[in-house]
């Protein structure tokens, strides 16, 4: 096979199309398992979708068991620049394990990266769900009808900031992230800085921090809160399909901002 280049521009030479794949990213695990299920042999403990996934677990995204990965004899390991550590990627490559690193900060970037992952890295056809996701999520940006803040952690509180997949996803659903212009991607913010007059809704996902009815909403008194599936606003893959309808329905429950 000719040299292939991942999203970081790193070249790799694969002797054949990969048929033993380890994924270190929950989103990409679901994407591969849904589009090309027979190739996955390993995934992290956080790879929870599809529920019936039966592969060897190789610890977490930030502390993968590199020895266990090597024992699986993968043709390719799939990683992500944000989700995984450069150190682990470097050491896997040094051990002779090819690693394909994705870079995803917007919805179009995610769609293009996933298409390249299937057609170039895995030598497979584009799955139907990816074609549908592209039709749902690309095109002219809709009008902003509400603003949102998205905490991802508490004590200390952190929110979704600039240049993130989540922020771009919300904007494409008609929700503007009020921290989109912050210089940091995941800045610290106090509850008072989140619970501000220009915030129409505070979205509380169940990952990475597990916000619940009794853990999170009580911190905010001005803006209404909504508990949301973290998978639907932070994952890229088949989750993009239900995410579209869920966010549209959520938006319909909020009062429109005056023009």
**Structure confidence by residue, pLDDT tens digits, 144-178:** 999 999 999 999 999 999 999 999 999 999 999 99
- In this predicted structure, which of 35-44, 96-105, 153-162, 239-248 has the lowest mean pLDDT? 35-44
Phi, psi of 98 (to 5 degrees): -65, 135
pLDDT of residue 1: 63
Same domain, 71 and 108: yes
Is this prediction's pTM over 0.85? yes
Same domain, 223 and 170: yes
User: Do 177 and 167 meet the contact criterion of CB atoms below 8 Å apart?
Assistant: yes
pLDDT of residue 14: 87
Same domain, 19 and 116: yes
pLDDT of residue 16: 86
pLDDT of residue 111: 98
**Residue 185 sits in which domain range?**
146-252
Number of domains in the chain: 2
Does residue 257 lie within any of the structural domains? no
Same domain, 132 and 173: no
Domain boundary residue among 94, 109, 136? 136
Same domain, 23 and 131: yes
User: Chain-wide mean pLDDT for the chain?
Assistant: 95
Arithmetic mean of pLDDT, 95-113: 97
Pick from 95, 253, 229, 81: nearest CA to 169: 229
Domain boundary residue among 112, 136, 160? 136
**pLDDT for residue 259 is more than 60:** no
Same domain, 126 and 20: yes
Arithmetic mean of pLDDT, 168-192: 97
Same domain, 91 and 193: no
Same domain, 245 and 199: yes
Same domain, 71 and 93: yes
Domain boundary residue among 68, 102, 136? 136
pLDDT of residue 77: 98
Whether the bond into 208 is cis, omega within 30 of 0: yes
Same domain, 109 and 232: no
pLDDT of residue 37: 83
Q: How far is CA 110 from CA 11, 22, 77, in A?
A: 20, 19, 18
8: domain CATH number is 3.40.50.1980
**pLDDT for residue 56 is more than 70:** yes
Map residue 226 onto helix, strand or coil: strand
Per the document, the length of the chain is 259
Same domain, 218 and 125: no
User: Do 156 and 188 meet the contact criterion of CB atoms below 8 Å apart?
Assistant: yes
Pick from 229, 223, 225: nearest CA to 215: 225
pLDDT of residue 238: 97
- In this predicted structure, which of 34-38, 73-77, 177-181, 215-219 has the lowest mean pLDDT? 34-38
* Parallel, antiparallel or unpaired: strands 99-102 and 76-80: parallel
**How many Å apart are CA 55 and CA 258, to the nearest integer?**
51
Query: What is the number of other CB atoms lying within 10 angstroms of the CB of residue 206?
Result: 15
Same domain, 85 and 172: no
Q: Cα angle at 234 between 233 and 239, to 5 degrees? A: 70
Does residue 183 lie within any of the structural domains? yes
Does residue 259 lie within any of the structural domains? no
Arithmetic mean of pLDDT, 120-129: 95
**How many Å apart are CA 185 and CA 258, to the nearest integer?**
28
């Amino acid at each position: 096979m000719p040299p292939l280049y991942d999203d970081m521009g790193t070249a790799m030479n694969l002797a054949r199309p990969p048929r033993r794949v380890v994924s270190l990213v929950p989103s990409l695990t679901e994407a591969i398992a849904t589009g090309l299920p027979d190739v996955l042999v390993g995934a992290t403990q956080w790879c929870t979708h599809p529920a019936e996934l039966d592969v060897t677990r190789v610890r977490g995204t930030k502390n993968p068991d590199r020895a266990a990965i090597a024992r699986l004899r993968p043709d390719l390991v799939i990683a992500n620049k944000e989700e995984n550590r450069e150190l682990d990627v470097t050491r896997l490559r040094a051990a002779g394990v090819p690693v394909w690193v994705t870079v995803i900060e917007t919805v179009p970037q995610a769609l293009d990266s996933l298409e390249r992952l299937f057609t170039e890295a895995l030598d497979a056809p584009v799955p139907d769900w990816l074609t549908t996701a592209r039709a749902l999520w690309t095109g002219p940006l809709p009008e902003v009808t509400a603003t949102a803040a998205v905490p991802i952690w508490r004590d200390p509180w952190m929110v979704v900031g600039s240049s993130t997949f989540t922020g771009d996803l919300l904007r494409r659903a008609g929700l503007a992230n009020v921290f989109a212009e912050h210089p940091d991607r995941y800045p610290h913010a106090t509850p008072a800085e989140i619970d501000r007059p220009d915030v129409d809704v505070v979205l509380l996902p169940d990952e990475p921090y597990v916000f619940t009815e009794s853990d999170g909403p009580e911190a905010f008194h001005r803006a209404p809160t909504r508990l949301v599936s973290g998978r639907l606003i932070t994952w890229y893959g088949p989750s993009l399909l239900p995410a579209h309808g869920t966010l549209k329905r959520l938006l319909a429950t909020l009062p429109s901002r005056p023009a």
